[in-house]
């Protein structure tokens, strides 16, 4: 009998357990047999509600989660398919979603995805046409179409969040984007991997503060020295293993049998802590050979789950002095988030850059400004001729290329990112907030430069003293406007501000805001 993950995770009386499976790079053979064997044993065990299938983790080619997920699904085990925005544009994503619906796989973990890795002939071209917030809305709209066509069961979509951010700017941006994902329709949440109970608790407390009642599964992982080294080096975006924890793992695994027992115990203890903190379930990773290890973790968890408070001191693996939204050691429940209390110093040139662009935007790109009508009339006159369009485009591109590294998308979104360009500043072109891969404020893809959303928060707080993630979401860019003037497109209602498509309208309806 097929287990229904959606029913389990939405049942407040049930502690839901899922298991992550990672397909290999072959279509047949041992790697496929291993994944199928783990799934079969998990189904027979009876405690796992669903297995999740990763989508080219690390951006490297592997067997499609759709095909192996469907094979598992037909055996009776429910499946969560990872769905990333990395490799296909919005047309391909819609087609893939319809394919999954036809195969009966409706549980989707909607992700922006890791940056593209190497494939046939070299580096793959990253797509990132949509981000994970926009993907949530796309899947919601498709669910409505499916219902109208007679299918009563739409997609059950979830999202990921990485609470393991120890700068204020990253924390605010990460939680602000989570708020948008929930507003866009996410029905469950799975955390990224970390080992700090304070950060795990912070997420639950902040969701309570914001009034967000969405079930959260906390990630637990069977750590080995090899996996710990990779995560410590930042090669698993969003996961956090500190140098101190890495040293402990390597010490414990000096004897492999003893190390394996210790890792099973630690994984079970973290699961107990998560249940005690109010998580609705756990998402188990690091099971690559057989289900026996996962079974031992679950057995031990069942024995010790009521002792979770005893294990809290063992899970404080965060950097010294890292930012905390709440004081984890205080028991009072009326704490307010600490955002905005200690603004960081921002270089003078960056402050002037922000002030100049904000002033220009207020006078010329605010529909409520005194110059709005004049600007609109001027745009109409210039747009009426080819020469006028070229002159405006030349003036716009010349100034914005110097100030912003403009990519001439024709559908500007700098006002959402602290008057920085998310197209030029983010290799994933995220318009609704950061991916989960930043580390100490630095970009996942280019670690020698700061994440554009980290920079945006710092300058907004330094200059304005407050920040907000826009209610609803930011629609995706309109590719039909590529290499045209965003100034003309804005004033003549051609860009996303004036768009009447379904996705843009939905962005203005679903509201969930994180404010300071």
Cα three-residue angle 148-152-158, rounded to 5 degrees = 105
pLDDT, position 509? 67
Number of neighbouring beta carbons within 10 Å of residue 238: 25
What is the CA angle 236-242-243, rounded to 5? 115
Q: What is the mean pLDDT of residues 459-486?
A: 87
Residue 334 pLDDT more than 80? no
Question: Burial level of 333, CB count in 10 A (0-12/13-18/19+)?
Answer: exposed
- For residue 191, what is the DSSP state? E
Confidence of residue 2 (pLDDT cuts 50, 70, 90): low
What is the model's pLDDT at position 25? Answer: 84
Query: Residue 501's pLDDT band (boundaries 50, 70, 90)?
Result: confident
Q: What is the mean pLDDT of the chain?
A: 93
Return the closest-CA partner of residue 140 out of 83, 175, 97, 87. Answer: 97
pLDDT confidence bin for 502, thresholds 50/70/90: confident
Q: How many CB atoms lie within 10 A of CB 483?
A: 10
C-alpha span between 339 and 336 (Å, rounded): 9
Give helix then strand counts, H and E, for the chain.
19, 10
Q: Is the distance from CB of 269 to CB of 313 less than 8 angstroms? A: no
Position 321 pLDDT exceeds 80: yes
CA gap 337, 466 in Å, rounded: 13
- What is the pTM for the complete model shown? 0.95
Question: Strands, E, within 124-209: which ranges?
Answer: 156-161, 188-191
Q: Is 474 helix (H, G, I), strand (E, B) or coil?
A: coil
Q: What is the pLDDT of residues 69-124, one digit of tens each?
A: 999 999 999 999 999 999 999 999 999 999 999 999 999 999 999 999 888 889 89
The H-or-E segment that residue 228 falls in is helix 225-232
Q: Which of 364, 452, 450 is nearest to 416 (CA)?
A: 452
Report the sign of the C-alpha dihedral through residues 508, 357, 464, 345, in that order. positive
Examine the pLDDT at 1 and tell me if it is beyond 90: no
Question: pLDDT, tens digit, for every residue of 23-82?
Answer: 988 887 788 999 999 999 999 999 999 999 999 998 889 999 999 999 999 999 999 999
Q: Which residues contact 92 (CB under 8 A, 6 or more apart)?
A: none
The end-to-end CA distance of the chain, in Å, is 48
Query: What one-character DSSP code corresponds to residue 494?
Result: -
* Pairing label, strands 216-221, 188-191: parallel
| Tens-digit pLDDT profile for residues 338-372 | 999 888 889 999 999 999 999 999 999 998 999 99
pLDDT of residue 35: 96
Q: Which residues contact 369 (CB under 8 A, 6 or more apart)?
A: 362, 363
Task: Give residue 470's pLDDT.
Answer: 62
pLDDT of residue 505: 73
Distance between CA atoms of residues 386 and 402, nearest Å: 24
Q: What is the pLDDT of residues 376-396, one digit of tens each?
A: 999 999 999 999 999 999 999
Helix (H) or strand (E) holding 17: strand 16-21
* Cβ contacts of 320-323, under 8 Å, gap ≥ 24: 322/166, 322/167, 323/165, 323/166, 323/167, 323/168, 323/171
pLDDT value for 353: 97
Percentage of the chain surpassing pLDDT 70? Answer: 97
Confidence of residue 504 (pLDDT cuts 50, 70, 90): confident
Predicted pLDDT of residue 328:
86
Cα dihedral angle (186, 189, 190, 194), rounded to 10 degrees? 130
Tell me: pLDDT of 435 over 90: yes
CATH code for the part of the protein at 5-223+278-290: 3.20.20.220
Ranges in the chain annotated CATH 3.20.20.220? 5-223+278-290
* Cα separation, 342 vs 67, whole angstroms: 50
Q: With contact defined as beta carbons under 8 Å apart, do 170 and 443 qualify?
A: no
pLDDT in tens, 130-185: 999 999 999 999 999 999 999 989 999 999 999 999 999 999 999 999 999 998 99
Q: What is the pLDDT of residue 510?
A: 64
Residue 511's pLDDT band, with cuts at 50, 70 and 90, is low
What pLDDT is recorded for position 146? Answer: 95
Nearest to 485 by CA among 398, 356, 427: 398
Q: Distance from CA of residue 113 to its chain's centroid?
A: 8
Taking only the tens place, the pLDDT of each residue in 239-298 is 999 999 999 999 999 999 999 999 999 999 999 999 999 999 999 999 999 999 999 999
- Chain centroid to CA 107: how far? 17
Which phi and psi angles does 318 have, rounded to 5°?
Answer: -135, 165
Distance in angstroms (rounded) separating the CA atoms of residues 252 and 262: 7
Q: For the beta carbon of residue 441, count every other beta carbon within 10 angstroms.
A: 20
């Amino acid at each position: 009998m097929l287990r229904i993950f959606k029913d389990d995770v939405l049942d407040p009386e049930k502690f839901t357990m899922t298991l992550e499976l990672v397909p290999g790079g072959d279509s047949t053979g041992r790697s496929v047999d291993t994944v199928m064997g783990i799934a079969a044993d998990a189904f027979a065990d009876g405690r796992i509600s669903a297995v999740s299938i990763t989508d080219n983790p690390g951006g490297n080619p592997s067997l499609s989660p759709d095909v192996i997920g469907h094979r598992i699904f037909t055996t009776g085990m429910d499946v969560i398919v990872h769905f990333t925005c990395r490799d296909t544009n919005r047309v391909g994503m819609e087609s893939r979603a319809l394919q999954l619906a036809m195969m009966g796989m409706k549980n989707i973990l909607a992700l922006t995805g890791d940056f593209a890795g190497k494939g046939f002939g070299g580096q793959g071209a990253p797509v990132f046409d949509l981000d994970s917030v926009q993907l949530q809305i796309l899947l919601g709209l498709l669910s409505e179409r499916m219902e109208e066509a007679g299918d009563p069961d739409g997609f059950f979509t979830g999202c990921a969040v990485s609470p393991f951010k120890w700068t204020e700017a990253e924390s605010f941006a990460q939680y602000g984007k989570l708020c948008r994902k929930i507003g866009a329709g996410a029905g469950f949440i799975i955390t990224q991997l970390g080992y700090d109970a304070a950060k795990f608790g912070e997420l639950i407390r902040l969701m309570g503060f914001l009034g967000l009642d969405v079930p959260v599964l906390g990630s637990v992982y069977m750590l080995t020295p090899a996996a710990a080294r990779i995560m410590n080096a930042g090669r698993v975006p969003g996961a956090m293993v500190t140098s101190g924890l890495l040293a402990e793992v390597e010490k414990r695994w000096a004897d492999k049998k003893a190390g394996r027992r210790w890792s099973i115990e630690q994984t079970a203890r973290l699961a107990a802590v998560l249940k005690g903190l109010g998580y609705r379930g756990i998402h188990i990773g690091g099971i690559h050979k057989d289900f026996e290890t996962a079974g031992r973790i679950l057995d031990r968890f069942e024995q010790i789950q009521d002792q979770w408070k005893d294990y809290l001191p063992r899970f404080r693996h965060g950097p010294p002095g890292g930012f905390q939204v709440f004081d984890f050691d205080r028991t009072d429940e009326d704490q307010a988030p600490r955002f905005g209390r200690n603004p960081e110093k921002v270089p003078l040139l960056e402050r002037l850059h922000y002030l100049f662009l904000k002033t220009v935007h207020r006078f010329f790109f605010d529909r409520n400004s005194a110059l709005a009508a004049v600007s609109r009339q001027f745009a109409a006159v210039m747009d009426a001729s080819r020469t006028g369009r070229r002159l405006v485009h030349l003036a716009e591109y010349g100034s914005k290329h110097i100030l912003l590294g403009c990519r001439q998308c024709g559908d500007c979104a700098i006002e959402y990112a602290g008057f920085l360009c998310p197209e030029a500043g983010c290799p994933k072109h995220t318009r609704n907030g950061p991916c989960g891969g930043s580390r100490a404020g630095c970009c996942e893809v280019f670690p020698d430069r700061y994440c554009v959303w980290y920079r945006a928060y710092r300058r907004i707080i330094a200059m304005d003293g407050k920040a907000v993630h826009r209610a609803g979401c930011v629609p995706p860019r309109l590719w039909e406007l590529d290499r045209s003037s965003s100034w003309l497109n804005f004033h003549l209602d051609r860009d996303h501000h004036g768009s009447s498509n379904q996705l843009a309208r939905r962005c203005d309806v679903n509201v969930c805001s994180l404010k300071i």
